[in-house]
Amino acid sequence: MIRAAIFDMDGLLVDSEPHWRAMEREVFATVGLHLTDDECKQTTGLPIPDVVNYWYARAPWTEQAAGGRTNAELGDEITEGVHERIANFAEPMPGAIAALEFFFRRGIPAAIASASPMSLIEVVVDRLRIRDYLKLWHSATLEARNKPAPDVYLGTAHKLGVQPADCVAFEDSGSGLLSAYSAGMRTIAVPAAFELGNPKFAIADVIVPSLTAFSQEVLDVIQNKVHSS
């Protein structure tokens, strides 16, 4: 039986990915790395330190080009810029509020398990006005390992007081899906349109093109898989 619903945040509840990509392009341009929007999509779902390391490994910039800034500081610049953009401009993803309301009406606690820092989660919760729908929110930056490791999902289940197998997790990225799957949760993948057919999502119990497609029928499929496990 499903006793809790756990949601990823970026790109799943909030339309934040365009803001992340915009800031990545802006900050990386300062070190001479000029990325396209499509190139930035290659790292969708990765924690920002991993994004910086990903591009540094492929197109290393010099300390001089970075103006003395470390890779960690470049990551911080991206995150700080995204905080500001999301606080002022971000909108919920289609179906996100309705999905939270779905569980709220049924008395099933909902939580956020995000790779983003707690400060950004707070910004999103306030921007989307979803505080009342959530039991809690948890950041993988407070765990030993970020996604795709299962730590943040295991930690969230522990805080909720439920077993991972009794949770359904919603994820839009392959990295996040692997995190929830490895935690032993039932999973619903909600890939972005540009990677809807990507085989990395095959491990999900259910794949939907948008949270607008989530329904009682979809939850019943998940419930039946739980009962038959």
Catalytically active residues are: 8, 10
Contact residues for 40 (Cβ-Cβ < 8 A; gap 6+): 20, 21, 24, 25
> Encoding tokens for residue 96?
């996100």
